[in-house]
Structure 1
Amino acid sequence: MLRDGQRHLTTTGALAGLRVVDLTQMLAGPFCTQMLADHGADVIKVEALSGDGTRVTGPFCADDALRDFGGYFQSVNRNKRSIAVDLKTEAGREILRRLIDEADVVVENFRAGVMERLGLSYEVLRETNPRLVYGAVRGFGDPRSGASPYVQWPAYDVVSQAMGGMMGITGPDRHTPTKIGPGVGDTIPALMLCIGILAAAHRARDTGKGQFVDVAMTDAVLAMCERIVYQVSYTGTAPAPEGNRHPLLCPFGLFRARDGHVSIACATDAFWVKLACAIGREDLAHDRAFATNAARVAHQDQVIDAIEAFTIVRSKKEIGLVLGGKVPFGPVYTAAEIFADEHYAVREMLVEVEQPGSATPVKIAGVPIKLSESPGAVRRRAPMLGEHTEEILTAAGYLPHQIAKLRDDRTIL
């Protein structure tokens, strides 16, 4: 897997030397490959001549006259190199084959059958690269792992959130299923695909044999909603949206403040005692009717009313001065409050990068996985379309006149 001869000179991190051919677009696939790139993998993003569709999705900086890409693309494609290739041509497919033959991993999120129609199925690719790890993320998975009746259905975040069970337990009441704000129907599958790829790459390093890694977006969301499975199995009752409460724990959820909301989560009886005393309700702290979690769930309206009597007349900051560090507590932040909080600055979670076409740098979310000896990093901005085409083809053995002809033929940009 990690071969010194293929190390990219500008790459550092725990995955330095791992070469990834990235055929993904939109969110789930690019989020996965970006995590690999953050930790040192050399990720070659192979795009159509028109580019990843999210390049035209904003927001854009006001002074950006270039508009090669906006915030969406910048946020999930950093640390990658871009090559633009027309895979509808035989020459384009030959370029891709050569890149994959020298790669450790290929990742795609096309609908099932697309790579087969291009003559680039996993079974074909592994003939010349037996150690290849082939990762795929699709709405309903790949038939190799189990042929879903929905295998040809296209899917986005809202589809996997809906069918994976997440929306069905989210919302203000049992009659109002609600979409989760961020695209977790994409990013959760991306995380699981990343884990699968690393597991398979680890095995390939020892055995020389790759494998197919298949993640269905709906499966990944269901796995993250694990509670709904055992609740039905154990009780025979399907859970429904519970608003900002928890069906099994109390107090555990959101509470109104004078200027918004705060979260308080007392999953143990010891935390409950500390909370009750902190809000001036020592009577509840020592009342046997509230001594256990089961008792508090049974009397949750009284518990919530007691806590909100304290929180609703105070600001989030004032509540934090009382509860912070004593019980699990956090204010519900707006994005502006996240930008102002020192935590995210010292943790390097708001990272400034160049935005081509704009005189002003922009900020994107940083690397959340912190390694002490080989830390990941945001080393460079997202690539412009085809920015590294010549560099990549030269490294793959193409001569200058061959590259020029491919460009003249509109096989590459």
Structure 2
Amino acid sequence: MPRSPEPGDRSLPAPGPGEAELVAAEGGARLSVRGEWTLAHHAALAEHVRALSAQVGAAQVATVDVEGLAALDTAGARLLHTLLGAERVGALLADETALPRERRALLKAVADALADPVTPAAPAGYALGDVLAHIGQTMVVFRRHLAGLTGFVGLILETAVRVAVQPRRWRMTSLVANLERTGFDAVPIIALLTFLVGAVVAFLGATVLANFGASIFTVDLVAYSFLREFGVLLAAIIVAGRTASSFTAQIGSMRANEEIDAIRVLGLDPIELLVLPRVYALLIALPMLTFVAMVSGIVGGMVVSATTLDISPALFLSRIQDNVALIHFYVGMAKAPVFAFLIAVIGCLEGFRVEGSAQSVGEHTTSAVVQSIFVVIVVDAIAALFCMEMGW
């Protein structure tokens, strides 16, 4: 008569569906695993493991007996890992005599997969959510840029006040050199472009106003537009593209070559040495360039008026003197220092943000030009609304 296998009997594997039994023994409990741990018996094994897991976790399991394990596949290895836990599975794999080589390899593969699970792909978003997320990210970036710009402005003002009371620390050579590059070298291009724009404005005014028999008001159109808006705006946009990019490239290259760090090691202040001369130079240069732009634009309109409308230069200038108040010139000139300060600050700040590569220099140079032009146009629009409300 065949005998039933005893718990400690390892000679006969337990046939049929797999099972596990927790047996108390001296020196700690022993967990005996027997039968077929395969996908065919997965449902019954899952219930058995679920019922036994709490006991195994609470008991001090000293040994794991797998001699009675008749069959093992991936599903059974997964349940066995759940029952034993990662630490006991590791100890079982370390004992080369406990399991045959192929079963040990299978259990190890399952344990490694469970230790480093595959992260599921992020669920696909929906159109409105993606748009709102993009808007939120853009606002966070805008807030960070605004905070950085505000802090940099405060640092420049603090350094300017500290240096102003110490004339020996004024960088006159650097100021004159930057003034030449940002101001005098820009006069030809600004004069030419504003002359052409003034001619275009006069052509448009002559074309439209001639239908109403009011061609003489072309003079007023050219004068108002260049004294209040076009002169300072065109000069600021050209300077933003020409000078802000130059400031960013110069300071960015110095940062990429670690020259900024060398300046700090020498005990010098980069703001005092690099930023203040550029800011002061542009504060002086842009009002002068604005005046050149105003004169050139009016001259362009005057040439067109003389050639197409038979308005002589004397009549043109006389009408400007009689009909155009001086407040318009003051409004245009008052914007120039504000635009100059913002352009210089943005150009220098983007230079200090360069991270050390040629690609970073190009990216921040582009960013400096875009930000400068954007800020100039926004501030000009705000100033126009303010002046309109004030009646200026």
TM-score, normalised to structure 2, is: 0.21
Q: Which has the higher strand share?
A: 1
Of structures 1 and 2, the one scoring higher in RCO (CA 8 A, sep 6+) is 1
